[in-house]
Structure 1
Amino acid sequence: MDRKLLQYLVEYLVEEGKAHGCALPPAAADAAQGGLASASTEALWLAFRSLVNVRPPWPAPGEFLATQDELLQGLIAEAGVATLADTTPSPTDPRLRLWRGDITTLAADAIVNAANSGMTDCWAPLHYCIDNAIHTFAGVQLRAACANLMAAQGHPEPTSQAKVTDGYNLPARYVIHTVGPIANGRPTDTHRRQLAECYRACLDATAKAGLSSIAFCCISTGVFGFPQEEAASIAVATVRRWLNEHPDVPMTVVFNVFSETDESLYRPLLGL
């Protein structure tokens, strides 16, 4: 992690926030308290991440974007970029694959972001949900792009649709954003239908964009509270059905999981 790049970025973001009368998030305030020049690299990273988490989609100068892009691309390269060849194919259906890892390091044509109805990230400093992670490592350009989409739409994003943006600094070329159902641990038939529609909408968007690979996160199973086992079954069944209904569309689908629990749920569904 390049400390010089981080210090420049944090200094810019702190001054930008002050100019707009914004309070610093705690991690940034902590780093700034003793002087950014003496802050540790880890403290600067937490400050940077928390600042971009709360930064509105303001225009950013070219120097900031170039520095940010260099930092984020370097971090992703250090973490190691995974390709489709690193994923595990289903022995019963080679169109389907499983991969456990950080979706922000996966070089698929598109990755799926589990968004909220605001569509511009979760805004919670240092919250480690997938929405926050994807926006952080894509860069501030992603929030700006989502804000433009929402301004043009004029209303919150409905459940079970899909919107496509560039991936910016991510290895994935595109991000497909979908809002899953909020089940709170007690899914209804409507929630089940909405979850299936999320998968279909993302696949439709991928095909319409002319892409041939997509990596799904576990939609709605985080704070939205859809039970993981049932969500996994719906995901695999819905994707299989869509692929069978579109035999002329070449598509590789990766189910990306982050936890050992989710991996154990998907393996038998994929015949692994």
Structure 2
Amino acid sequence: MATIECIQGDIARQADIDAVVNAANAQLRSGGGVAGALHRAAGPGLAEECRPLAPIRPGQAVITGAHGLPNRHVIHCLGPVYGVDEPADELLAACYRNALELAEREGIRSIAFPALSAGAFGYPPAEAARVALATVLQTLPECPGIERVRFVLFDADSTALHQRILATLEKGLEPGA
């Protein structure tokens, strides 16, 4: 089983990870938050490679090169806008599942996620973390090539929240727990 870790950090500076996940907009353009940070660090080649892949739908994942980032790939996911894109839980889960399945097909051994939809898209942080972590735990057995999943969180509160929810979910998955 893969290692799952939750750390505070900058998603654009995960040099030991094969692929980072972009909290993308439908047009796969630079924006605020994660998308802006990744596009700035990657340089203009990322926007050029993204252009023909857009638009994407909520829950969808597409892959590009990483350009100026220290990774091999960027997987772009469009998370649901909370209260607009429904069913929100299913669409958010699809982001994580589709990203992991795409990583598995591409031979990616390590992947770093931000907290998809938990920023500007308004998803309540605890609910977003529960959906994200439960989906990753459920999907990893189908992705034996993936050795490490890292959640890279913006602040200490988000990091602690993810760590707490992960510990609770892992206890629930243990036989006899």
TM-score by length of 1: 0.58
Q: Which runs of 5+ in 2 are unaligned?
A: 169-177
1:62-73 → structure 2 map (5 Å cutoff): none
Alignment match of 1:182 (pick from 81, 95, 101): 81
Distance, in Å, in 2 between the alignment partners of 1:177 and 1:114 is 6
1:270 aligns with 2:169: no
Q: Check the 8 A contact 2:24/2:35 in 1, yes or no.
A: yes
Q: Which has the higher contact order (CA 8 A, sep 6+)?
A: 2
1:134 aligns with 2:38: yes
Distance, in Å, in 2 between the alignment partners of 1:240 and 1:264 is 18
Q: Check the 8 A contact 2:107/2:145 in 1, yes or no.
A: no
Distance, in Å, in 1 between the alignment partners of 2:21 and 2:151 is 10
1:187 CA drift (Å): 8.1
The alignment yields a C-alpha RMSD, in angstroms, of 1.8
Q: Check the 8 A contact 2:2/2:146 in 1, yes or no.
A: no
1:35-75 per-residue CA deviation (whole Å, 9 max, x = no partner) reads xxxxxxxxxxxxxxxxxxxxxxxxxxxxxxxxxxxxxxxxx
Letter in 1 for 2:71: A
1:183-222 → structure 2 map (5 Å cutoff): 183-184=82-83, 190-222=87-119
Letter in 2 for 1:168: H
- What secondary structure, in the 3-state scheme, does the structure 1 residue paired with 2:152 have? strand
Q: Which runs of 5+ in 1 are unaligned?
A: 1-92, 151-155
1:94 CA drift (Å): 5.7
1:226 aligns with 2:123: yes
TM-score by length of 2: 0.88
1:118 CA drift (Å): 0.9
Which residue in 2 is equivalent to 1:117?
A: 26
More strand as a share of residues: 2
1:269 CA drift (Å): 2.2
Distance, in Å, in 2 between the alignment partners of 1:157 and 1:215 is 20
Q: Check the 8 A contact 1:187/1:226 in 2, yes or no.
A: no
Paired residues, number: 167
Which residue in 2 is equivalent to 1:244?
A: 141
Distance, in Å, in 1 between the alignment partners of 2:164 and 2:85 is 22
Q: Following TM superposition, where does structure 1 have runs of at least 4 consecutive aligned residues deviating by more than 3 angstroms?
A: none
Letter in 1 for 2:23: A
Which residue in 2 is equivalent to 1:102?
A: 10
